[in-house]
Structure 1
Amino acid sequence: MRAAYLLAGAALAVSSAWAVAQDAPESLLPKMFQEPAPTPSPTRTAAPRPAAPAGPAADAARPAAVATPVVQALPGEGAAADHAAGEGGEGGFSLKRVPTLEELAEMSPDEFADLLGSNVVFDMPPQARRSMERAGLLGESEGGLPADSLARQNARLIELALSENKGRLVSRWGHILLRRMLVSRLVPPEGMSPQDFLALRVALLLRMGETDAARAVLQDMDIADYTPAVGSVALGVYEKTADFTGLCPVMATQGSLQDGTEWNLAKAICEAFRGNSAVALSKLDREMARGKTPKVDLLLAQKYAGAAGKARRAVTIEWDNVSTMTPWRYGLAIGVGIEPPARLMDAAGPGYSYVTALAPMVGLERRAAAADRAGAAGVLSNAAMVDLYSQIYSDPGVTGDWQERAESLRDAYTLEDPQARFAAMKALWDSAGGPSERYAREVLTAAAAARMPAGEDLADDAPALIASMLSAGFDANAMRWAPVVPSGGQSWGLLALAAPGRTSPVETGSLDKFIDEDGSAGKRRAAFLVAGLAGLDRLGADEVERYSNDMSLGLVEGTRWTRAIDTAAQRGDSASVVLLAGFGMQGSNWSRMTPRYLFHIVSALRQVGFEGEARMIAAEAVARV
């Protein structure tokens, strides 16, 4: 009974304070910038109002320009009988029956919040709400896929294709095409909610390292429409963009979507950035005392939250006992300007390099090192990499190897002698740490390679120049080398795949020469060339069967996956073809790809209108062996 009286008293106090607040204009300043509110007087008495005459004559006598003030009724005024009956009068408040302690214990969080009046009400006019049915970044007119591409597909199959893709593709061009599909404004499959469809797409974008694209797709849905599934990927988005304050609007209105440790720590961080630093740090201290959360996670959260207001403290981050890196730790670390130990980053995997390459708060040298992975994967374009190196070139604080590489890139564009420009490009390629990093440098130099004049003096070096051009899609520039390069060589093979609009089959004599001269292990480069030409319909049916049998490629043999992608191509289902192609191209490098899978991917993409992407994927396979 005592608890019931206390709760009733609290309800009266909250209601009275709310009523008083209605008489003053609401301040739009953050709490940390507001002046302390004056202490309210113990009692407040409403000024007596003169009785107003009634009737039409009184209405006519009232001046039109004088507005009648609307005053919030005080407790006990006017609607006393209604209050006593338990129902609030118009403009007043409702004093509900106080629940018992047993009833309080059985209440859900939402019911308890409703009792206290703390539930957030989304008050947005319908015309301002965004449709959930086509959430995304690219419309069809902007290069995206048609909106209804997946609307009539099996929801369970689409869910599997999205959720089971680990996000790491062997092909740069396959990555780019899959990203384009995922950011398109698409209607969800029948039987799948828009929120689940968006959550699956955003989660795959995050696994691919496409943090900026993931955030853009996520933010195309109103926070009022979030579900727990969307809340889960929202945490991942803002972790990987090191933007924990971006979560604060979600926490303010949909804070009950999740109840995990990191979610609740993010709540405390947002509390600090709302001006309650002391309260936020106190919550983090209590969590530290409980001892259930890794110490480094809490220390990083304290450091991030402590930057919000006056309640700052010295926080030392100790990595000695930390054995693994997590998105939470890395996002907080780079958000407060800390570089984690190299031993943790070396074992963390390429996904963290993609985050680093896109993070504006990280130093240029670290971003350039990460760009060698991000560029090869397709996360960074040629233009983005050139822009990064231009910043390095113009920054006097960057010295040593990275400054020299930036100067080499500038020389590759600006020197007058073509041989000197090629030497600058070759210096960039040769300084790479491995095959993947070298391919990223070829992406970096693609536009410079496209400016090179086609000549006999550089014919021996043409394969590297052509591969560099094709890495960024400069196929027309690459075809200028067709009269120069010898038939049957590696350059010939790349151009046979990359040639736009070719309808005639290639000469089998030149293909036989390519196969004979191929020095790759198991003639893998030749196998990819045959598979690519067959997929592009640049070999006759008899030749496809003959080369497949002679080289044991098994191009015409089927699996469940090949039958699925072939069927999707036959019915013109471009979105399903892209999803299945991305599923089939999973792997850390091209050694994970088979000629048979390459044949079916290239063939299916060509049939549904992605002929350009099909050519680039086939050429990439040959170039990266």
Structure 2
Amino acid sequence: MKRTTLSLALGLSAAVLVLPAIAQESLLPEGFGNPADTPAPRPAPTPAPSPTPGPPVNGSAPPVVVPTVGSADSDADDDEEAGDEEVESGGLKYDLPPGARRLLTRIGPLTPATGGMAPDAFGVRGQYAAAIMRKTNGQFASRWGQILLRRALASAIDTPATINGADLAAERASLLLRMGESTAARRIVQSVDYDRATPRLVAAAQQVYLATADPAGLCPYVPAGLAHGDEHSWRLASAICSGLSGEAGPAGWAIGRVRSSGRLSNFDILLTERVLGATGAGRRSTTIEWDNVDRLTSWRFGMATATAIPVPDALRAAAPAYMKGWTVLAPMTDIAQRVAAAPEAAARGVLSSDAYVSLLSAAAGEEEPSEALTAQTVQLRTAFSAAAGADRYAAMEELWSAARTPAEAYAAMIATARAAAALPPGTDVGGDPWQLLGSMLAAGYDANALAWASNVTPGSHAWGVLAVGSPRALNGLSASTVERFSNADDSAASLRSKFLLAGLAGLGRLDAAAAAAAARDLDVDLGRQTRWTRAIAAAAERREPGMVALLAAAGMQGDWSKVPPYHLYNIVRALREVGLAAEARMIAAEALVRV
């Protein structure tokens, strides 16, 4: 699918849904003790951080690819020092009347009425929350953990007195970008008037508009970017903005100055000239060749996507995982590339079940879809609409078994979630339909899964998934049934059984004696204490669901093999205590499905 015009603004795709570990002893920055020792909130002095340079597009080294803002001061972990910050506007002219201005005291698009969390969901320790966000890499074992954190970060939350609202918005947007959630990050950036953006938010805004392939979105931030960020990358942005205004002279001067500096790769300058050509300000045609390009950076992703320049498959495959989320959420991207990135994006939580199926259906309707895509959509159609339940289940099994990677396997279960939920409980699905139940729970169809309770054998894999994922406790839960489950467990080091115990104990579905007996049998210590366990327990005690969601995600970094069972136990228990029991159940069930 070829396009010849520049995509100047991101349109929300119909396939996008925004709403809804390593041992973590060193998770929290040095200087952070028990979060329960929170000083009482006090009025914030006039806010304004010292300028922090934004990431360069390219210097003598290759362009920056990690979507992060400037690093915090080394002593930023002291909440008391946040009062020294002041807002810097960058000297931008603003033409909205005062009544239309947005305040920095509450930032975010989602309210409780639209699926968001309460304004006080993150508590009153702003610098503390920002530090945790900075240290969280955005790659989580749990799809449901990402969905929950996206909801928390996109909520309209009150800005604590200990931090500038624009700086906290910058950390939220940057973490969302590392999660692959480019559209949610964009909504956070756009919740702050651009003349109130601090240097950190300006740097984050640059990455957001590159991730959403919207060069025009950079324009309001150019003066502040030139003043506080990387001069050369922002000078390229200024050239694009001059071209959009029809000013070919200033655009050419800016391009020439960057080229003569020798600080940026000529390839990135050529991409900028290609954008200028699309605006009509370019004076010559620009040919883009990727022969000597070794990686896909955020600048290259944004400029190439905006001008429909094909990116080699090898570069896309080697790109950071979060770029697959950016690719799927960019509707101007070639649909074949979106489909290629979709399984991992769905498994991470960027795409919902409905959005994933919609994307596959749209791709199958294109001219000459691939044979693999055609076969996949035929199986999906059978899974959803075959007359006999046995035929529908057979089609689902075909899709699950065709996966080549763990991410593809879980994505296939996500795609069949609604079809699995619609399957009559009397259908013959064999003796251990754990994939069927896992498919339902991947999209939250817990009531439909519970209808299969009488069809599963106590102690089987399916029984374990249902034991933690169902909306109510199953009958006959005891240490002996956990032992029966463990005896049939074929996972490495009995990790699946340990996760079952952690989930049941965290949900309060095993009494203390039964949990202790099962823990001894499995040689697992669910009561282990670290700074992370104390932090998430304290956040739950303070009834801060946003902070609990953030710490829960931080405790699930990496894949499930890296998540200690005591982490899952503390996550499930803390989520349940702050009123997020449904999310706790889905995370516990996902652990048993994906291990």
What's the TM-score once normalised by structure 1's chain length?
0.78
Q: Is the 8 A contact 1:459 1:484 kept in 2?
A: no
Deviates more, 1:382-391 or 1:564-573: 564-573
Listed as ranges, the gaps of 5+ residues in structure 1 are: 1-117
Distance, in Å, in 1 between the alignment partners of 2:200 and 2:388 is 57
Match of 2:121 in 1: 149
1:316-355 residue pairs with structure 2 within 5 A?
A: 316-355=287-326
Match of 2:232 in 1: 261
- 1:619 paired with 2:563, answer no
Deviates more, 1:558-567 or 1:175-184: 558-567
Match of 2:521 in 1: 550
Distance change in 2, residues 1:258/1:314 (3 Å): same
Q: Which SS does the other structure have where 1:422 is aligned?
A: helix
Distance, in Å, in 1 between the alignment partners of 2:130 and 2:428 is 53
Q: Which SS does the other structure have where 1:307 is aligned?
A: helix
Q: Which SS does the other structure have where 1:138 is aligned?
A: coil
Q: Is the 8 A contact 1:241 1:331 kept in 2?
A: yes
Which has more radius of gyration? 1
Q: 2:497 aligns with which of 526, 529, 536?
A: 526
Q: Percent identity?
A: 41
Distance, in Å, in 2 between the alignment partners of 1:418 and 1:503 is 26
What displacement does 1:452 show? 0.8
What displacement does 1:566 show? 1.4
Q: 1:281 aligns with which of 229, 252, 260?
A: 252
- Aligned CA-pair RMSD: 1.9
Query: What code does the residue aligned with 1:592 have?
Result: K
Distance, in Å, in 1 between the alignment partners of 2:229 and 2:356 is 37
What displacement does 1:621 show? 0.4
Q: Is the 8 A contact 1:297 1:328 kept in 2?
A: yes
Distance, in Å, in 1 between the alignment partners of 2:362 and 2:549 is 35
Match of 1:437 in 2: 408
1:162-181 residue pairs with structure 2 within 5 A?
A: 162-181=133-152
1:466-545 residue pairs with structure 2 within 5 A?
A: 466-502=437-473, 506-545=477-516
Deviations 1:36-60 (A, max 9, x none): xxxxxxxxxxxxxxxxxxxxxxxxx
1:58-457 residue pairs with structure 2 within 5 A?
A: 121-153=93-125, 155-251=126-222, 256-309=227-280, 311-455=282-426, 457=428
Q: Is the 8 A contact 2:276 2:282 kept in 1?
A: no
Distance change in 2, residues 1:397/1:281 (3 Å): farther
Deviates more, 1:417-426 or 1:381-390: 417-426
Q: Which SS does the other structure have where 1:152 is aligned?
A: coil
Q: Is the 8 A contact 1:223 1:254 kept in 2?
A: no
What displacement does 1:546 show? 1.9
Q: Is the 8 A contact 2:137 2:557 kept in 1?
A: yes
Distance, in Å, in 2 between the alignment partners of 1:338 and 1:275 is 23
What's the TM-score once normalised by structure 2's chain length?
0.82
Query: What code does the residue aligned with 1:594 have?
Result: P
Match of 1:605 in 2: 575
Q: Is the 8 A contact 1:505 1:540 kept in 2?
A: no
Distance, in Å, in 2 between the alignment partners of 1:179 and 1:539 is 31
Q: Is the 8 A contact 2:274 2:286 kept in 1?
A: yes
Q: Which SS does the other structure have where 2:280 is aligned?
A: coil
Deviations 1:283-309 (A, max 9, x none): 313422332211111111111111101
Distance change in 2, residues 1:502/1:265 (3 Å): same
Q: Which SS does the other structure have where 2:516 is aligned?
A: helix
Distance, in Å, in 2 between the alignment partners of 1:120 and 1:559 is 46
Q: Is the 8 A contact 1:212 1:241 kept in 2?
A: yes
Deviations 1:507-548 (A, max 9, x none): 333222111111112111111101110110111111222222
Deviates more, 1:303-312 or 1:237-246: 303-312
Deviates more, 1:511-520 or 1:369-378: 511-520
Deviates more, 1:545-554 or 1:596-605: 545-554
Deviations 1:419-449 (A, max 9, x none): 2212222222222221111101111111111
What displacement does 1:462 show? 1.6
Listed as ranges, the gaps of 5+ residues in structure 2 are: 1-89
